[in-house]
Structure formats: structure tokens, C-alpha cells
Amino acid sequence: MPKLTFLSHAAFLVEDEKTSIVIDPFLSGNPLAKAKPSDIKADYIILTHGHGDHFGDSLEIARANEATIIAPNELALYCESKGAKVHPMHIGGAFNFPFGRVKLTIAHHGSAVPDGTYTGEPSGVLLTMDDRTFYHAGDTGLFYDMKLIGEMNQIHVAALPIGDNFTMGIDDAVKATEFLQPEIVIPIHYKTFDVIDVDPEEFASKVQSKGFKPKILEVGESLEY
Ligand code: NI
Ligand code: MN
């Protein structure tokens, strides 16, 4: 049974008995993060896109752990140019890794790393370990194909941005939950900056009233799924 730990913002550690994966590890300069990059033990790093609040400390963590970075092609090649071991993928493609399956999904957003290098299309991620599927939407606006993602995948946990301004806000994320039909939905990408300071309790009560099970994770809190 995999376990995910919320590292704040859009960052998660996902682990089972054999493998540890960190997603979008933005820790340095993140006002909400409690973990330091040196605290992270990871075999793989999955990046949804290049923005600083997702790319974060990935190169440092990759170097310290000899971890492989899994990312959309342009971003993966950028990481490789900085010395990281990478596995490039792209939207719509899935690959069976030793730990499970990763499929990249569309996300309507942008992608450039902090030095300004453009890094192609952003993505969301379907991560299946031990037959349990975690959907991390990345940064995105609401899109109707989420309905298709929900129809074609049994999603056990979905992490959806709710902070508005850069991504879906609360009401759009409620609609996304209806499209995706996850067993548990976790709000992410809020409070970190003033412009995304929304109340996750509002999201939780709205999805609950539609029959879904929200889980607001505190920073450092874990969930087995
Ligand atoms: Ni972004
Ligand atoms: Mn972001």
C-alpha cells in the first residue's frame, strides 16, 4: 500500500516498501515547507513542469540521491544538461517503471525553468504503484478531458490545485473532482503566496456536499491509500 506525504504547495513524497518518489520538490524558498532538500531520500523525482515552485530543489535532490528525474521531454533534457539522470516522457505516454506506471496527462498552463529556459508543455501525472493510482494534476486550469481521465482510470487519490490566480480556483476544482471521481481528493497549491491564499475548508465542504471525500493534509502529514 503506497503512502503519500504532503511536503506543502504541490510537493509530495510517495513511497511503498521498495521505492521513494518525490513530486515537484519545491522546498528552498518555500514559506510553508518544513523539510529541507537534504531530508529527502528519493529514487525518482517526478516534475510536472519547470516553474520554480515545482522544479524547486530537484537538481540538488537528484544529485544527492543519484535519483532519476521523470519529466516532460524538454524539461527532462534541461535537467540532463545540468547533470541529472533523466527519463523523458510526454503527454499521453505511459511507461512501466520498476516501481509502477507513470502516465503524463495534459495540463493547461506554462513551463519555463527559473533561468528563463522554456521547457515545453506542462503536465499532470497518473502514478500507479501497488495497483493504486494517484493523480497529481500539476498546475492547470479546469479542462473537460478530466472527465475522460476519470472514466479511463480508477483514481484512488487526486491532488488538485485550488489556489486560483495561476490555476483552478475552488469552484473549478470542485467541478474537476466531479469529472475525476476520485476516492479521496486533496487540495494543493494554496496559501504559499498571497495571491493564492484561499481556504481549503471551503473546498472540502463543497466537495463533501457533492458526495466526495476531501482530505486536507497538513504539511508533513501522510496518507496511506
Ligand atoms: Ni506553474
Ligand atoms: Mn505552481
Give the model confidence (pLDDT) of 11-46 as tens digits: 999 999 999 999 999 999 999 999 999 999 999 999
Q: How far is CA 181 from CA 98, 148, 155, in A?
A: 27, 11, 7
Regions of the chain with pLDDT less than 70: none
| Residue 221 alpha carbon to ligand 2 centre in Å | 20
pLDDT tens track for 56-81: 999 999 999 999 999 999 999 999 99
Residue that has been written with the C-alpha cell 502514478 in this structure: 127
CA of 50 to the centre of ligand 2 (A): 9
What pLDDT sits at residue 31? 98
The pair phi, psi for residue 21, each rounded to 5°, is -130, 130
Dist. CA 122 → ligand 2 center (Å): 11
User: For residue 42, what pLDDT is reported?
Assistant: 98
Whole-model pTM over 0.75: yes
pLDDT at 62: 98
Pairing of strands 132-136, 3-8: unpaired
Cross-strand pairs, 125: 104, 136
CA of 139 to the centre of ligand 2 (A): 5
Please name each of the domains of the chain with its CATH number.
3-213 (3.60.15.10)
* Cα 126 to Cα 7, 43, 146, 211, distances in angstroms: 19, 18, 12, 23
Per-residue confidence (pLDDT) for residue 38, from 0 to 100: 98
Identify the pLDDT of residue 149.
98
The alpha carbon of 136 and the centre of ligand 2 are apart by a number of angstroms equal to 12
The pLDDT assigned to 205 comes to 98
pLDDT of residue 210: 98
Alpha-carbon distance of 36 to 90, in angstroms, equals 29
Half-sphere exposure of 195 (CA within 13 A, CB side): 5
Task: Note the pLDDT of residue 166.
Answer: 98
